[in-house]
Chains A and B, each alone.
Chain A
Amino acid sequence: MAMIEVKNLTKRYRDRIAIDGLNFSVGEGEILGFLGPNGAGKTTTMRILTGFLPASEGTAQIAGFDVFEHPMEVKRRLGYLPETPPLYLEMTVRSYLEFVARLKGIRGKGLDTEIARVSELTGVKLVLDRVIQNLSKGYRQRVGVAQALLNNPPVLILDEPTEGLDPTQRAEVRSLIRGLAGKHTVILSTHLLTEVTMTCEKVLIINQGKIVAFDEIKNLATAYGQTEQVSLEEIFIKLTAA
């Protein structure tokens, strides 16, 4: 069964069409790379999937629940890292993670274990007692990822999780995301195409609100390139040039 099922999803802001009739599905345990130039509608799509924005037309289902009809069921199964990590700058990392964990329904003994688990995974263990305001951009981003992983949700929606990280940190987050495959269904948007080739098997490329490609990377390479060695970057430029 598909964990994420999107049918004819359309979002209009007055006259402007942000996304136009998207259809795609992501199977359980898959990692989908979500690509597109700036303003193509990636963030809008992710916001609709998380129930933060309503769709103008079409439906989106997460784990079989419609995001608009059953928002609570969907939110319970979802970890979301928005474009800007949603951090309370005045709080320490620990109290922030405690707050989010409580909102996700983790209480009592499980709280400390869960915070220890996600901070270990994202490498924020050493900064747990520091105030978020004083952290570097890379650490803030990782706290954002840690927050999404709390309560081990089956579906993860990550809007540019490696933004602002240095190459080493990027490699760490990449391997973290690769490690999620199989257990979690992940949608991951990014600008960095190498990121996608290294973490995802499948990509979805949108341009001006429309899907221009939705396939496995190796199929794209044979379909659009003359050789097997054609890079995703060349395919991306070709597809979004129109």
Chain B
Amino acid sequence: MRNALTIARKELSIYFTTPWAYVVFTLMLGISSFFFVAYLENFKQVQMMARAMSWARLPPDWGMYKNLTDGLVVPLWNVVMIVTLFVAPFLSMRLFAEEKRHKTFELLMTSPVRPMEIVVGKYLGGLGAITATLGLTIVFPAVLSIFGRSESGSALEWSTVLLGYGGLLLWGAACMAVGMFLSSLTESQMIAAFLTFAVLLPWMLLKGLAQSAEEPLRSIVNYLSFDSQLQNMAKGVLDLKSLVFFASVILLCVLLTQRAVEAQRWA
């Protein structure tokens, strides 16, 4: 296990010495700030209208704008989720493809390290990078809780905010796991990134497909869709089934990567 930590440390140090991580951080913060400001403006306008006319006369689905958590943070988490879908492949693509291209894979494979330790080390490194990226977005609820006011108690319902945030972290972790596996299949980082995106996007939107399917297929497809799993958590509902789902996806990808690395010895 110490070998895995050694590799994870090396991965992190490379992430933070190359521009990639900073480009990803900038994208994540830039895009989510843009939406944060837009959503905040929207929220303020609805609040003003409500003050002028009372909530009863506004459309009923505007009820979510009654508090900052549902009216601002939940939609913002959805945006961060989409941005993660776009940036995670750029973080995961180099994990194995770069080692193969630069022939450093030969060093890892001829060092006294087990393939599983290499995979776990790489995954932990990638996990560190995506957690750092997502970690930046906690600044938005923090700002809201400092400057926001509410008639009843605290401005934010932290349990909902943090559960949604936990969902985001799980989503990021799953993206990195899928990306790592695809990166282990190719020497080209661009192909790895593209494949990751091509797998994650339809997988996330699987729910749309479920609408046209019949039972019991419908429930199965629905369960397998990232989107349906994440929507529950974003709304603050913690379901053990979601945790099992994410843990299974991550574990499966780690095992598949281990097989792909081990296959080198048999090729």
Contact = CB atoms under 8 A, between A and B. Distances in A.
Interface of A: 47, 50-54, 68, 71-72, 75-76, 78, 80, 82-84, 86-91, 95, 99-100, 102-105, 107, 147
Contact of A90 (B2, B6, B14): B14
Say whether chain A's binding surface is mostly helix, strand, loop, or mixed.
loop
A78 B14 contact: no
Contacts, number: 73
B149 interface: no
Contacts of A50: 110
A54 B6 CA distance: 27
3 tightest CB-CB pairs across the interface, nearest first?
A86-B107, A75-B112, A84-B103
A80 B109 CA distance: 11
A89 B94 CA distance: 14
Interface of B: 2-3, 6-7, 10, 13-14, 17-18, 102-114, 264-267
A52 B264 contact: yes
Contacts of B113: 75, 103
A147 B112 contact: no
Given A76-B112, A103-B112, A54 B14 contact: no
A88 B111 CA distance: 15
A82 B106 contact: yes
Given A50-B110, A86-B107, A71 B6 contact: no
A89 B2 CA distance: 24
Given A91-B13, A99-B6, A51 B18 contact: no
B112 A91 contact: no
A100 B10 CA distance: 10
Contacts of A99: 6, 10
A83 B107 CA distance: 11
Contact of B110 (A52, A68, A105): A52
B112 A86 contact: no
B103 A82 contact: yes
A38 to B, nearest CB: 18
B267 A53 contact: yes
A80 B107 CA distance: 8
Contacts of B114: 72
B266 A54 contact: yes
A95 B106 contact: no
A51 B10 contact: no
A86 B14 contact: no
Contacts of A84: 102-103
Contacts of B266: 54
B94 to A, nearest CB: 11
Most B CB atoms within 10 A — which of A75, A102, A103?
A103
Nearest to B14: A90
Contacts of B3: 102-103
Given A91-B13, A99-B6, A99-B10, A82 B112 contact: no
8 contacts: A52-B106, A72-B112, A75-B110, A76-B112, A84-B102, A84-B103, A90-B17, A95-B13
Contacts of A100: 107, 111
B267 A54 contact: yes
A76 B265 CA distance: 17
Contacts of A52: 106, 109-110, 264
